[in-house]
Structure 1
Amino acid sequence: MADISDGIENESLEEMILEIKDTSELMVDLAYSSLLYNNREIAEEVFILQERMEEIGDEIQRSAIQEVLNDRDAYKALQIIKMVHSVQEISYAATKIAGVVRFELPTHPVVQLSLRESEVIITSAVVDENSDLADTTLGAIKLATNTGMRIIAIKRGRKYFYGPDMHSSIKAGDLLFASGPEDGEEYFKDLAEGKEHLTPKDLQ
């Protein structure tokens, strides 16, 4: 199946389509993690992301309508609007999951047992100005090697960076979202908060 974004001449529209896809995927990951660890902070982040989803969705649909006016290609615009609706349905489902934690709703024991079968967790941490992670890149600190945790997204202010690579920068105040084994979470958080420090050997 061809990517809906193929053939879109408006670069900003294509970027928004990619962002809404990445945002929905992160929301699902965070929602399940908030439920697994009864983490209200992560649950709240899901609702913050939902606000961004609605903003992007509205902008994409406005751009799609403009495409019709410019190119008279109603079919392409309809496909884009349908895609936005489908992705937003996924994000709404994520908020329902996170809402269990946010509003302190009861969960069935079977749900908790099934979730805990996963060996990979999603966690987050804010980078302190005294952290070894501040003002560097993911490649320079070899975070995945040293902690077992892989950064899946970075939040800087109101902007999210998805799928960061070795060249992606980390700054003080960034909110890092990471996935990996549960036993790597504490060290990852301590590094971000400046409670632990990397050794020269870690950087080789």
Structure 2
Amino acid sequence: MVSGDGDDGSEAVEYEPVGVKRLLVSMKDVSELMVDLAYSALLHNSDALATEVLELESRMDVLQMQARMNTLMAARTTTDSKQLAPVLGIIGAAEKISEAAGDIATVVLGDEELPGSIRAALPDAMEVLARATVGEDSPYVGNTLGEIDLETETGVRVIGLHDDQEWVLTPDQETRLEVGDVLLLRGGERNLSTVYETVTGTPYEQPEERDADITDLTRAVDTIVLMKNVSELSVDLAYASVLLDDSDLAEEVHALEVEVDSLQSRLEAWILQAASEVEQPVRLRGLLALANSTELISDAALEITEGILRDIETHPVITESVRESEVAVRRVAVEPKSVLAGGSVEDVLEANPGISVIAIRRSNDEWVFYPDGGDRVDAGDRLIARGTWNATEQLVSTARQ
């Protein structure tokens, strides 16, 4: 229960009997959304998205305190303590992810400007994330997402929404839109602009761009985008490894953590080189903070898998909490005789509605993050797919045929 403010201005939290499973579900959903929002705020120079991140960080502070209290109350025996220790680890890791995402948002909102125009150097294919408030005259008012069928019609997804009272972190077909709801939209820029205007009644405006003051900004942005992709994937895989008690997935998280270390070193080296081109090198501190925050997210994702890597039996509350989330992430090995071998990502998507391929790890351990439809799927590849439980289970079955 929240009971007012603490001495430092933060919300004071008292013990309230709440199911640990429900709290872990909320923490999982909040931490995943925060990482997505934080990087989108950075790459699109969006104060509005950064503000949403900080509001979610406050929500996470309350959730993690409630989760710690209820987890400690659940321990009755030494066996309980052993099995619940990884639960406390997951709670702590989710909190670290939240704090790191909040630090990224602070870079966007703070006085330390990022060099040049990050937005101008973004890849053309990058999906845009925008914050849109449902207007009184919007044709979507009173309709469910299923009735609107937004993603099928436009390719734009509602990845979260909230009103003045509560968040819906995993909106589904039954989620109904009302005047004043704040939607988080993701999709291609052209279609998103159209949907934004339909939702709000006002044209979509691009974030303000600044003139680039560093000649090699593209290389830095490419590294930032890679760090974003690796961080998001690490968090997804970490939670999936816990659900499936899958040490192979946990090892993938470890491999990604090594990748982030390499990317962090690459970005820091670029910053040192760029310092000679900037009149005020202190302006590069924002990128250093970004590199550090990304590394913290990756480390925290690895902490989530600690129980799996140490072969500690997974407590049922962990499995149940991750399964409560409507979105599943699965690792699918493409065997030589699999019907998937030799095709494309587009073939996989057409044969398995309801899933998206978010990464491919090639047989030579090279990663392809967020592949497009034309990318090949070869024997020996490992696909990382996200989707509904039924859809991902179907993909696993298909891969074995």
**Common fold: TM-score over 0.5:** yes
- What percentage of aligned pairs have identical amino acids? 28
Among candidates 11, 15, 29, match of residue 22 of structure 1: 29
**How do 1:117-132 residues align onto structure 2 when only pairs under 5 Å count?**
117=123, 119-132=126-139
Distance in 2 of aligned mates of 1:35 and 1:78? 35
CA contact (8 A) 1:36 1:115 kept: no
| 1:132–1:194 contact (8 Å) kept in structure 2 | no
Is 1:47 the counterpart of 2:46 in the alignment?
no
Deviation at 1:104, TM superposition (A): 3.4
Post-superposition shift, 1:113?
Answer: 7.3
Contact 1:40 1:102 in 2 (8 A): yes
When the two structures are aligned, how many residues end up with a matched partner? 186
Q: Distance in 1 between matches of 2:102 and 2:115?
A: 18
Compare 141-150 and 180-189 and name the one that shifted more: 141-150
Within-5 A mapping of 1:23-172: 23-69=30-76, 73-108=80-115, 112=118, 116-117=122-123, 119-172=126-179
For 2:148 and 2:40, locate their aligned partners in 1 and report how far apart those are by CA, in whole Å: 25
| C-alpha spacing 1:122/1:71, structure 2 compared with 1 (3 Å) | farther
Q: Which amino acid letter does the alignment assign opposite residue 112 of structure 1?
A: I
Q: Could you tell me which residue of structure 2 aligns to residue 191 of structure 1?
A: 198
Structure 1 residue 186: Cα displacement? 1.7
The AA in structure 1 aligned to 2:187 is: G
User: In the alignment, is the contact (CA less than 8 A) between 1:123 and 1:178 conserved in 2?
Assistant: yes
Which range moved further: 13-22 or 141-150?
141-150
Bigger Cα displacement from structure 2, 61-70 vs 42-51: 61-70
**Letter matched to residue 104 of structure 1:** D
Which consecutive unaligned segments of at least 5 residues does structure 2 have? 1-16, 204-401
| Cα 1:115–1:74 shift into 2, 3 Å | farther
Q: Please state if 1:178 is matched with 2:173.
A: no
Which SS does the other structure have where 1:64 is aligned? helix
Cα deviations by residue, 1:144-196 (Å, 9 ceiling, x for unpaired): 23332101111122421122222221111111111111112221211111359
Looking at structure 2, the residues matched to 113 and 189 of structure 1 have their Cα atoms a distance apart, in angstroms, of 19
Deviation per residue, 1:39-59 (Å, 9 max, x gap) = 111101100000000100000
Matched residues in 1 for 2:119 and 2:186: separation? Answer: 20
Contact 2:19 2:70 in 1 (8 A): no
Q: Which digits, 9 at most, give the CA deviation of each residue in 1:11-69, with x for residues without a partner?
A: 73211101111111111111111111211111011000000001000000000011014
Q: Which residue identity is paired with 2:142?
A: D
Task: Measure, in 2, the Cα distance between the counterparts of 1:121 and 1:181.
Answer: 6
- In 1, Cα distance between the equivalents of 2:129 and 2:83? 36
Over 3 Å counting, the alpha-carbon distance change for 1:156 and 1:76 in structure 2 is farther
TM-score normalised to the size of structure 1?
A: 0.82
C-alpha separation between the residues in 2 aligned to 1:190 and 1:177?
14
Pick 1 or 2: higher relative contact order, CA cutoff 8 A, min separation 6: 1
Shift of 1:79: 1.5
Structure 1 residue 115 displacement after superposition: 7.3
